[in-house]
Every structure is written in structure tokens, then in C-alpha cells.
A = this chain, B = another copy of it.
Amino acid sequence: MMRKRTVALLVVAMMVLSSVLTLAVVNLPSFVQRASMGQGVLGALSGGGLNDQEKSKLSTVASLIESNYYQNVDESKLVDGAINGMMEALGDPYSSYMDTDTASQFSESIAGSFTGIGAEVSQDNGNVVIVAPIKGSPAEKAGLRAKDIIVSVNGEKLSGSDLNAAVAKIRGEKGSVAQLEVQRAGSKETMTFKITRDDIAMETVYARMTGDKIGVIEITQFSLNTAERFKQELTKLQSQGMKGLVIDVRNNPGGVLSVVEDMASQLIAKGKPIVQIEDRKGQRQVANSSGQSVDYPIAVVTNGGSASASEILAGALKQSAGATLYGETTYGKGTVQTSMDNLFNDGSLIKITIAKWLTPNGDWIHKKGIKPDVAVAPPDYYTVTPINTDTVLAYDMNNDNVKNAQIMLAGLGYKVDRKDGYFDRSTETEVRAFQAEQKLEQTGKIDAKTAAALEAALIKHIQDPQYDVQLNKAIAGVEKQVSAAK
């Protein structure tokens, strides 16, 4: 089942705010070692920290602010600000100080689990709609279904205009109860569900087999449980007689270093390098595969949203397992972070870049990314924005809304002869054809109804795997390798 594919048109939020771009080292050895030596972490820090003069300088500024600023100031905010400022001074977007809320989202993302009811929701016409309940979750057990509209949570009305705020209301601590008022298609009255929140494992691995026995595994991020899930799906595909494998890491922001090492080990010959880690002194450590190679061809599909651990996987499979890369150049994040969450006992967390990582051949891909072997550009309609229907679009108009409509029409296979925003006669003809197809009045103009139909048709089109040109190119490439090997 392919579930993740998102484009600008589709606003889908998991019940957790995921996608924290990172490559985390969990249980950093040297860090743990220090702690276990019976010293506090702080005592073991080799850096000197601030001297008295520097401390006094910072205190002076705080005092100056508190004495003069035209509004009252919360001193703890100044201290948080100072920490933020020190992290920002590094000029590294991956080193940051996270307050309690952000830190907890980050930790959930890394862990690949969160507490909630376990439903994926999206925004549709101002409503919060269930995309799907997660398998085995309280939401599924309670009987929530796809397309159910969540009207209110514990008496508080929801609005789709701010999906994050809605998600925050639905989520909560393990054991607490969410009372959901739900509108189901076909019934006039709303229904009420009482759901006890629980730990929910996020799905990060989606696998399927094509008719020609090519396995396709999509990995949405590298959370702590992802290597195990990958192993399950890989084993299943192999037992079904898989002849070739396509791994899809498009828009995968990364995750945990040890997890991607585990996963690469399942496909790379024992002893071959997966990744090199270079510390601040320039010393390199090579992580080698502890697993074995496979006897089928491998392809990896990447795009500009494939970052960090995704890039490690792509680089490792290319350079140590002969995999072919399809799609677009990757994001280009060649550093490793660790997070420290026990410094202040307030739930806050410091994430800091501690090393570079290099591909098996020693390339540092930071700010460059990895180029695909076979470049496949995404269709332009992947990034089209919804049509603003404040004014009805018609012949001779010329603006970005017309442009978006033209891109959508062309994406759906209509033969508009320009996609630059000028509403010419050909656009008019194709709008009429689309309206005929959709059984709408054939006005040749784009009003709110036609625009909504266009967007809905495009979303359906995008979700249909047969139109995924990047993935299909990779599948075709692997099929060709399979045939050639016969």
C-alpha cells in the first residue's frame, strides 16, 4: 500500500508533526561513556565554558533589558533566548535548542511512536477528515473510518483551517480519553466516540509487489522501529519470489544513523562499507555491513526531499551494492547530530552537529546532494497550488490561477496549448471537455465548482501509481536488469 505521496494540493498531517530533518545518533558512545564514568555529564565536558567576564557581560545585558525595556520581561525567556543565540551563532541549521514542546515532537519523530488515537487526518473544505485509522490503533478499534469528519473533540469544535491546532486537540497523554463528535457520510446525526489514547507506532515502511515481481518499498523516515519493519517487509517480498527491489526515499527527511546502517546491512555484502563518520579532529571511522548481499538488482528513487539517512542509504547501496539511483538530486545534508536532553531537567533539548558523514568512497555530499544515475523530473502538477476562485476564470484573462488550472488540465491529459497563465481559446475548449467529462455545465469558464472538480481529479491522478513517472522509470529499469540477467 502506497500512502505517503504528498503534493502541495494534498494537506495531510499525521497525528504527530514529523519530518524533523535530522540524522541522529542515539546513545552516542562517548557521551554515554562519560556519564557511566560516574561523573555528571557537565563535569566531563572538556570545553571550558564561559569565564567570569563573559558571564558578567551576559548578566549585564539581562539587567539592562530588565531595567529599561518598555514591557515586563520574563527572565527565563532571556536565558532561553541566550541559548538559542549561542546555537544560532554556529551558523549550522542542524544545531539547535528546542523548547519542551518542540523537543517532545522531535523525540516522538525519532522514536517513530507517539501517544494519541492513531488516525491520519487531512483538511478538506474546512473540515478535519480522517484519511485512515492506523492499523490496530484505538481509532480503528473504536470504529472510526476513512472520510469521517471530526466535528469536535471533548466539546471543542474543530476547524480544518488550522490542521495543526486540530491535531493538538485530538492528541493527548496515554490513558486520557478523547470524546469525538463525528459526521459520517450518509447519516444526518453526528455520532460520538469515546477513545482512550495509547502509544501509536508510526508506519514508516510501505511495501508492495508489482505484477512482474518487482518489490517496491517506500520508506517515509528512519525511526527506531524502521529497520525492523523494513526487515519484515523485505523478508515477505523475498518469500514471494521478488526478482528486483525498488526503494523509494523521496521526501524522506532522515532519522537515526544506526537504523539506516542496519537497513543497508540487509542488502550489502558483509564487510563492505556503508558510511564513513569523520569527527572534529578529521579522524574517520568506517561502518561496514554486518549482513549480506542480495542476488537481485536494486534501484533507489530519490528527490530533493531525500535527506540525511536517505542519502546515506542511497550512497551506500550505489557504491557498495551496485544499486542504480533514479529521480532527482538529493537534499545534501552530510552531517550527524546528537541530542542531549538531560541538561536542564525541563524537557528541553539541545541538538548539535558532531560529525560529518561520507559515502563509502569518501565523498562529502553536504550542500551538494547525490545525483541520480537516471534523472527523472517530477511532473509540473506535483507542485501546483490550488486555484483561487474569488473570480471566475475566463477567456483572455492572464494570471497565476489560470496558469495553475492549465497545469492541472495538462496533467490530466487535456491538450491545452499553453501553460503560462494566458486563458486562450484552446484553454476554453479543454475546460469545456473537462466539464463534459465531469458532467458539469459546459461554460468554458472556471468557477469554484469546476476548480474543485479539477483539484479532486488531479489528486486522484497523483495518487494513482500508474502515473508516478519517477517510480515507474525505476521499476522499468529494474525489470530490464532482471530480463537481461536471464
A350 to B87, CA, bound (A): 20
Stretch in A41-49, A305-313, A472-480 with 4+ CB within 8 Å of B: A41-49
Residues of B within 8 A of A71 (CB): 90, 280
The contact string, 1 if C-beta is below 8 Å from chain B, for chain A 207-218, is 000000000000
Which residue in B67, B95, B418, B421 is a CB contact (below 8 Å) of A69?
B95
Given contact pairs A280-B71, A353-B70, A398-B421, A62 touches B77 in the complex (Cβ within 8 A): no
Size category of the binding interface on chain A: 35 or more
Determine which residue in A50, A65, A335 has the highest number of CB atoms from chain B within 10 A of its CB, and name it. Answer: A50
Stoichiometry (number of copies): 2
Chain B proximity of A399: nearest CB distance (Å)? 7
How far is A78 from B48 in the complex, measured between Cα atoms in Å?
13
A13 within 8 A of B: no
Q: Are B60 and A79 in contact (CB under 8 A)?
A: no
For A89, give the chain B residue with the smallest CB separation: B81
A84 partner residues in chain B, CB cutoff 8 A: 85, 88-89
For the complex, what is the distance from the CA of A261 to the CA of B203, rounded to whole Å?
Answer: 65
Interface presence of A373 (CB below 8 A): no
Q: Is the CB of A42 within 8 A of B60?
A: yes
The answer to whether A77 touches B58 (Cβ under 8 A) is no
Q: Are B60 and A356 in contact (CB under 8 A)?
A: no
Instruction: Mark contacts of A405-442 with chain B using CB atoms, 8 A cut-off: 1 yes-contact digit, 0 otherwise.
Output: 00000000000001011100000000000000000000
How many angstroms between the C-alpha atoms of A49 and B83 in the bound complex?
Answer: 16
A234 to chain B, nearest CB (A): 33
Q: Which residues of B contact A78 (CB under 8 A)?
A: 50, 86, 89
Residues in chain B near residue A73, CB distance under 8 A: 90
- Quick check: which of A161-169, A242-250, A294-302, A336-344 contacts chain B, the rest being far away? A336-344
A33 contacts B by Cβ under 8 Å = no
| Interface assignment of A368: CB less than 8 Å from any CB of chain B | no
Q: A70-B355, A85-B83, A356-B70 are in contact. Are A49 and B45 (CB under 8 A)?
A: no
Say whether B343 contacts A68, CB under 8 Å: no
User: Is A61 part of the binding interface, using a Cβ–Cβ cutoff of 8 Å?
Assistant: yes
Residue interface mask A87-101, B partner, CB < 8 A = 1: 111101001010000
A242 to B486: give the CA distance in the assembly, Å.
98
Q: A270 contacts the other chain (Cβ, under 8 Å)?
A: no
* Contact pick for A81, options B68, B79, B85, CB 8 Å: B85
Residue with the greatest number of chain B CB neighbours at <10 A, chosen from A69, A85, A92, A95: A85
Nearest CB in chain B: distance from A40 CB, A: 10
List A residues 77-123 near B (Cβ within 8 Å): 77-90, 92, 95, 97
Q: Which residues of B contact A279 (CB under 8 A)?
A: 70
Contacts of A95 in B (CB 8 A): 65, 69
Q: How far is the CA of A68 from the CA of B63 in the complex (A)?
A: 30
| CB-based contact B69/A343 at 8 Å | no
Q: Is the CB of A45 within 8 A of B61?
A: no
Question: Can you list 18 pairs linking A and B with CB atoms under 8 Å apart?
Answer: A42-B63, A45-B64, A45-B66, A46-B63, A50-B79, A58-B86, A61-B83, A61-B97, A62-B86, A65-B87, A65-B90, A78-B86, A80-B89, A81-B87, A85-B86, A398-B398, A398-B418, A399-B420
Known contacts A42-B60, A49-B62, A69-B90, then 20 further A-B pairs from the complex at CB < 8 Å, ordered by chain A residue: A47-B62, A47-B64, A47-B67, A49-B66, A57-B83, A58-B58, A64-B340, A64-B343, A65-B352, A69-B352, A69-B354, A70-B280, A70-B355, A72-B280, A73-B90, A77-B89, A83-B85, A84-B85, A398-B398, A398-B420
